[in-house]
Amino acid sequence: MKKTIWLFCFALITRFSFAQLHPVEKESSIHFTIKNFGFNVGGSLHGIEGDIRFSPDNPGEASFAVSIDAASINTDNNMRDGHLKGEDYLDVQNYPRIRFVSVSVKQGKKKGTYQMTGNLTIRDKTKEISFPFTADNSGNGYLFKGSFKINRKDFSVGGSSTISDNLTVDLKVLAG
């Protein structure tokens, strides 16, 4: 009987040692940078939603399943934004969300740093990406920051044009 109670207590402690988090939209940002005609052009996306399970004591059990509203793309140029939302680029009519689901999270070399691998889906094309991130305790949750590079053509975004194939994505996600 004692053994059963001990196992039950251990299971409860293990289950609740993870923070079940949800992104806080107004505090979170997804920015990207890409070259257009040789000049850096930046933009952002909003409307992040999803579920995050995270504990700095056990990163191997962490999970991230988040998405963002593709139609929220904003480069401070309405004509360009309309073009990016169109069929040749993000095709937001048919693919309204960009999704990321983690496959693994590992402890980084320094305290508070981690390495994430997961599946990024844009326009119904899924590619595995891997990137480092930090997790800082922020009141009732965590502030996650990371950066990665992708090739837009891997996701069938845009044909040949004046913009670079490669872009950098910077994440700042507050989840609580």
pLDDT digits (tens, 9 = 90+) for 13-24: 444 456 688 888
Q: Give all domains of the chain, ordered by start, each with its CATH number.
A: 19-175 (2.40.128.110)
Q: Which residue, 22, 21, 26, is CA-closest to 46?
A: 26
Chain Cα centroid distance, residue 30: 8
Query: Is the CB of residue 147 less than 8 Å from the CB of residue 30?
Result: no
pLDDT at 2: 52
DSSP state of 58: -
Above 70 in pLDDT, residue 106? yes
Largest Cα separation within the chain, whole Å, is 72
pTM of the entire structure?
0.87
Above 90 in pLDDT, residue 35? yes
Query: Is the CB of residue 94 less than 8 Å from the CB of residue 109?
Result: no
Query: Is the CB of residue 173 less than 8 Å from the CB of residue 46?
Result: no
